[in-house]
Structure 1
Amino acid sequence: MNIVAIDPGPEVSGVVILSPERRILSARILANTKIVADLRIGTPCPFPHVAIEMIASYGMPVGAEVFTTCTWIGRFEEAYVHSDLTARYFRKDIKLHLCGTTQAKDANVRQALIDLLGPPGVKKNPGPTYGISKHMWAALAVAVYAHHVLNTSPPSPQ
């Protein structure tokens, strides 16, 4: 099952579609209204798992952009008719999975993704992560983590 991963923002969001073989099928930054419309009609691919990065509170004051982003997360979930195929993932869990620590920075996450999937390469010789930039890296991290969660069977009861 393909994974549509979203790194939500207050107006635009990073969106990555990852195949079951962990190939990047699409990576874009889209207007939130476009994402909602696509989820409502089942595009960009039918019945994918939708993985959304969830915001967590760490006790620090936040601005209006954070609350607007939270609202968009709810809109994304509500727009997708197959709500049983949606999941929210916390950034700290993604960092821990990819980097082995919750203290990792964006550059560490990016490097972990390159190590896992392959280097971007250049226009003449593009690699697996060619064209990924900005919020697409965070969306790719969500996709890779969701892939791990979906493909790791829970431990059997003792």
Structure 2
Amino acid sequence: MLLSRLAAVEYTQVAIEMIASYGMPVGKEVFETCLWIGRFVQALETPEEARLLYRKDVKMHLCGTTKAKDANVRQALLDLFPRTGGGKTPQIGTKKQPGPLYGVSTHAWPALGVAVTLAARTKGK
């Protein structure tokens, strides 16, 4: 379903987080991720539309250091958005008073980081 959506939607570029090797042993999930990255690129009308970004580049863009953790990336993303919702974290908000990031959770934070980084890199191009 996701691959067919890529074929059905108009876009000029697609941000994809790329795998990097740090010399450590990896498990099955990493190889499955590599497979899906290839499938996403193949599903694009022209593979040149794929913009592969490494996590270290996202961390550097959002946090200014490659040593940042996921919590730091999340906080940097929160800091980029207006505090217009309700609740303890108004950028996310509540069901009654949603903020601009309402519904973003778990794995969507790193994905949003990839998208924000690509948008900043290609701004004005």
TM above 0.5, yes or no, is yes
Deviation at 1:84, TM superposition (A): 2.1
Q: Distance between the aligned counterparts of 1:39 and 1:82, measured in 2?
A: 11
| RMSD of Structure 2 on Structure 1 (CA) | 1.3
Q: 1:101-120 maps to which residues of 2 (within 5 A)?
A: 101-118=65-82, 119-120=91-92
| Residue among 128, 132, 142 paired with 2:100 | 128
Unaligned 5+ segments in structure 2 are: 83-90
Partner of 2:109: 137
- Higher RCO (CA 8 Å, separation ≥ 6 residues): 1
Identity %: 55
Q: Which residue of 1 aligns with 2:122?
A: 150
Residue of structure 2 aligned with 1:58, choices 22, 27, 36: 22
Query: Which consecutive unaligned segments of at least 5 residues does structure 1 have?
Result: 1-33, 154-158
What is the one-letter code of the residue matched to 2:19?
I
Name the structure with the higher helix share. 2
Query: If you compute each CA radius of gyration, which structure gives the higher value, 1 or 2?
Result: 2
TM-score, with normalisation over the residues of structure 2?
A: 0.88
Alpha-carbon displacement from aligned partner over 1:77-104 (angstroms, at most 9, x marks no partner): 0011132221100000000100011111
CA–CA distance in structure 2, aligned partners of residues 129 and 48 of structure 1: 23
Aligned length: 117
Higher strand proportion? 1
**TM-score normalised over the length of structure 1:** 0.70
